[in-house]
């Protein structure tokens, strides 16, 4: 094959130069011996997935070291485009986004890297890593030869890949191989021109020596559109699969070369309202053993996930699965000696009193930096330049609704959840695919407000053009509502600037009683000090929300995430020590969207030592979407 030939030529040139520079570095696919070849030696990787974008930078080294000590010789990571180019031509590679530093740390620790730069990555990440601003062209066909999509991809890869080139193995760095696209064979477009364009683009930036590959589900139907000549085809499958059948599928696309499972599912993701997913340690260990016994290369997906427990927990804790996997790996390669860094200590800071601050409606001016936008019919988030979070949609009742009148989204266009009030009285919640109609009452001219929440864009499948906000018209009875005023809210900014403060605004001090048992979306705050006299504080902790229903939590202005204990299964959020301060009181801000416990019971959040991830309270009325792993 051309690739191997070129690699050999490259290796000879390097060998000639190599005498004074030390051993030449090369990495290639050996089609003759069905293996990878590194520096001329047969090589097999045992890898684990870790996403730097899900871990605070201060913990990168700890997690990588634990992966190394588990016996892995390689890690695999994606690069989410939308994490680094949040708006067109605005690049961010600093702090938690410093991917070059992350890769350098991996190399310093002794790990090789399999890089998966997309452009589409799936990854259980917003829009599969694609930036939402691509949707400014309404009709764009993502992951295809659509010229607007290609132009954006070319520009992004023109920025990213030259940064990665010096980090390729043959250039002295840790990156042994680079994946092009991701599970493209599962996507409806099946556009060979697109894959062929990407293949040339990657080769152009990284050089002919770079080992480029694709990953697809282990079935011929996936490999049909996902694999393309010139890119080494690999497969992904979990411990429940028939391993020989899965590798037979890869052999169909690649009759020769190393066997590779690019995503071996050591755990699984959770959805709100579904049972907590678990994958038994015994089954993972057994299947891993079988894969390694075949001489195959494998990447455990994930090794450390986000919230979900895989071999390593979110807080970097060593689990039973971690040690079981280490025991399996030990049978196949010499694993490093020396102590494994311990799980980080946790501290229970205890109960923190919360107090009501103000409602979203009373804080509108402070939350909407750009001021309102008016339109006859509703505009989507992206049309008013909002990417994440919340937009407030407001209009007036055109008629008297003295009896309950249906407010509907007949085309299922509330993306994803709308907290509805009339003249400051909560009326109910519309929810995408679940609740398309509620009844409201009010008189002609009353103000109707819908606080619309983006709950994350679909990351997989034909629906990734996932517009947010009110993406189709609402009806009141038979009439289409019109005359909208929309407030784009930058709550992160307002919280971190300390703008959310108690006001004397009318209506904000006494909760209006609601027919639905709901309260208006409202901010609460509280603070706590790190105790004196205890060594090594602050330490990591978990925050829990007794009696709260659904909302968002910030600590010292850092947006920690979403809580939804009434739906589950996740009840606690991980609080890494680096967001806490010993110098000043730590400020906790909640935006509670449905109703607080504060009128009926203790108005507190609690910091505890242990996570709770497996309490499914409500499954909701809708069948869950099936998402593929990677």
Catalogue the active-site residues: 183, 263
In the complex, least distance from residue 280 CB atom to ligand NAG, rounded to whole angstroms: 13
Q: Are 446 and 397 in contact (CB under 8 A)?
A: yes
Nearest distance from C-beta of residue 370 to ligand NAG, angstroms: 21
Backbone phi, psi, residue 309, to 5° = -80, 120
Cα 278 to Cα 321: distance, rounded to the nearest angstrom: 11
From the CB of residue 32, how many other CB atoms can be counted at a distance below 10 Å? Answer: 11
Q: How far is the CB of 178 from ligand NAG (least distance, A)?
A: 30
Binding pattern to ligand NAG, positions 159-178, x when CB under 6 A? --------------------
Q: Pick the closer one to ligand NAG by CB: 33 or 443.
A: 443
- Rounded to an integer, what distance in angstroms lies between the CA atom of residue 600 and that of residue 595? 11
CA pair distance 26, 15, nearest whole angstrom: 10
Within 443-512, strands assigned E span 447-453, 469-470, 475-476, 479-480, 484-488
Rounded least distance, CB 498 to ligand NAG, Å? 5
Pairing of strands 586-592, 551-555: antiparallel
Q: Pick the binder of ligand NAG from 33, 87, 377, 602 (CB under 6 A).
A: 377
Stretch that binds ligand NAG, among 179-187, 238-246, 290-298, 365-373 (CB under 6 A): 238-246
In the region spanning residues 546 to 565, those forming contacts with ligand NAG, defined by CB under 6 A, are 556
Instruction: Output 345 or 404, the one with its CB closest to ligand NAG.
Output: 404
Residues in 305-364 at the binding interface with ligand NAG, rule: CB under 6 A: none
Q: Cα–Cα distance between 390 and 140 in angstroms, integer?
A: 24
Q: What is the DSSP string of 230-275?
A: TSEEEEE--TTS-HHHHHHHHHHH-SSS--EEEEEESS----TTSP
Distance CA(349)–CA(57), nearest Å, equals: 23
The yes or no reply on residue 525 touching ligand NAG (CB under 6 A) is no
Tell me if 497 contacts ligand NAG by CB under 6 A: no
Packing angle of the helix pair 60-69, 99-109 (nearest 10 deg): 30
Partners of residue 263 on adjacent β-strands: 236
Residue count of the chain: 630
Q: What CA–CA distance (Å, rounded) separates 185 from 460? A: 12
Which of 145, 581, 608, 619 is close enough to bind ligand NAG by CB under 6 A? 581
Q: What gap in Å lies between CA 236 and CA 183, rounded to an integer?
A: 9
Binding mask 242-261 for ligand NAG (x = CB under 6 A): x-xx--x-------------
For residue 443, state whether it binds ligand NAG (rule: CB under 6 A).
Answer: yes
444 makes contact with ligand NAG (CB under 6 A): yes
**To the nearest whole angstrom, how small is the minimum distance from the Cβ of residue 195 to ligand NAG?**
27
517 binds ligand NAG, rule: CB under 6 A:
no
| Binding of ligand NAG by 475 (CB under 6 A) | no
Sign of CA dihedral 197, 99, 464, 626: positive
Instruction: Tell me which of 100, 193, 370, 437 binds ligand NAG, using CB under 6 A.
Output: 437
Q: Which of 283, 480, 617, 625 binds ligand NAG (CB under 6 A)?
A: 480
List the one residue from 585, 601, 602, 621 that touches ligand NAG (CB under 6 A): 585
Structure tokens at 533: 């006299």
Q: Which span sits near ligand NAG by CB under 6 A: 125-133, 239-247, 327-335, 513-521?
A: 239-247
Query: Is 584 an interacting residue with respect to ligand NAG (CB under 6 A)?
Result: yes
Distance CA 318, CA 331 (A): 20
* Nearest to ligand NAG of 87, 497 (CB atom): 497
Q: Which residue, 81 or 322, has its beta carbon nearer to ligand NAG?
A: 322
Site string for ligand NAG, 378-417 (x = CB under 6 A): x---------------------x---x-x-----------
Q: How far is the CB of 557 from ligand NAG (least distance, A)?
A: 7
Q: Which of 34, 531, 556 is CA-nearest to residue 255? A: 34
Which residue is associated with the tokens 């990555």? 121
Phi then psi for residue 279, to 5 deg, are -125, 125
Give residues in contact with ligand NAG (CB under 6 A): 242, 244-245, 248, 377-378, 400, 404, 406, 437-439, 443-444, 472-473, 480, 498, 556, 581, 584-587, 614
């Amino acid at each position: 094959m051309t690739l191997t030939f070129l690699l050999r030529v490259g290796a000879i040139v390097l060998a000639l130069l190599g005498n004074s520079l030390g051993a030449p570095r090369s990495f290639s696919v050996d089609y003759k011996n069905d293996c990878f070849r590194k520096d001329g030696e047969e090589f097999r990787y045992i890898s684990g997935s870790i996403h730097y974008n899900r871990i605070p930078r201060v913990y990168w080294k700890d997690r990588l070291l634990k992966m190394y000590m588990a016996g892995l010789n390689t890690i695999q990571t994606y690069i989410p485009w939308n994490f680094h180019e949040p708006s067109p031509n605005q690049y961010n590679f600093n702090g938690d986004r410093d991917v070059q530093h992350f890769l350098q740390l991996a190399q310093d620790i002794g790990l090789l890297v399999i890089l998966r730069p997309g452009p589409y990555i799936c990854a259980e990440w917003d829009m599969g890593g694609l930036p939402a601003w691509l949707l400014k062209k309404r009709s764009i066909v993502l992951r295809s030869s659509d010229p607007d999509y290609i132009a954006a991809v070319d520009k992004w890869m023109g920025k990213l890949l030259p940064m990665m080139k010096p980090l390729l193995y043959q250039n002295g760095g840790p990156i042994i191989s680079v994946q092009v696209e991701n599970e493209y064979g599962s996507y409806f477009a099946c556009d060979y021109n697109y894959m062929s364009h990407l293949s040339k683009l990657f080769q152009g930036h990284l050089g002919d020596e770079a080992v480029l590959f694709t990953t697809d589900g282990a079935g011929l139907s996936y490999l049909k559109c996902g694999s393309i000549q010139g890119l080494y085809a690999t497969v992904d499958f979990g411990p429940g699969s028939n391993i020989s059948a899965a590798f037979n599928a890869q052999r169909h696309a690649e009759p020769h070369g190393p066997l590779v499972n690019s995503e071996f599912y050591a755990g699984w993701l959770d959805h709100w309202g579904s049972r907590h997913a678990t994958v038994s340690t015994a089954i993972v260990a057994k299947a891993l053993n079988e894969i390694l016994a075949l001489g195959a290369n494998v990447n455990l997906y994930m090794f450390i996930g986000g919230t979900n427990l895989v071999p390593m927990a979110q807080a970097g804790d060593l689990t039973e699965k971690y040690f079981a996997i280490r025991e399996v790996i030990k049978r196949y390669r010499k694993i490093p000696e020396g102590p494994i860094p311990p799980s980080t200590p946790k501290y229970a800071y205890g109960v923190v009193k919360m107090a009501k601050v103000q409602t979203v409606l009373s804080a509108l001016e402070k939350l909407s930096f750009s001021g309102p936008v008016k339109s006859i019919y509703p505009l989507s988030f992206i049309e008013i330049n909002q990417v994440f979070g919340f937009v407030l949609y407001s209009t007036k009742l055109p008629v008297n609704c003295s009896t309950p009148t249906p407010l509907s989204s007949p085309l299922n266009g509330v993306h994803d959840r709308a907290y509805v009030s009339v003249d400051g009285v909560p009326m109910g919640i519309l929810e995408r695919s679940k609740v398309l109609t509620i009844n409201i009452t009010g008189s002609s001219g009353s103000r109707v407000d819908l606080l619309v929440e983006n709950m994350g864009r679909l990351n997989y499948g034909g629906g990734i053009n996932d517009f947010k906000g009110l993406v189709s018209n609402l009806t009141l009875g038979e009439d289409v509502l019109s005359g909208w005023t929309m407030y784009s809210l930058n709550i992160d900014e307002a919280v971190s600037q300390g703008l959310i403060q108690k006001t004397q605004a009318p209506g904000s001090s006494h909760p209006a009683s609601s027919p639905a048992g709901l309260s208006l979306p409202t901010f609460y705050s509280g603070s706590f000090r790190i105790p004196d006299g205890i060594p090594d504080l602050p330490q990591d902790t978990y925050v829990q929300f007794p009696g709260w229903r659904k909302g968002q939590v910030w600590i010292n202005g850092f947006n920690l995430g979403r809580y939804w204990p009434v739906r589950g299964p996740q009840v606690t959020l991980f609080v890494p020590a680096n967001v806490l301060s010993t110098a000043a009181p730590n400020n906790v801000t909640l935006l509670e969207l449905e109703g607080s416990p504060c009128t009926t019971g203790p108005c507190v959040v609690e910091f505890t030592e242990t996570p709770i991830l497996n309490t499914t309270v409500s499954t909701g009325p809708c069948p869950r979407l099936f998402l593929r792993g990677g």
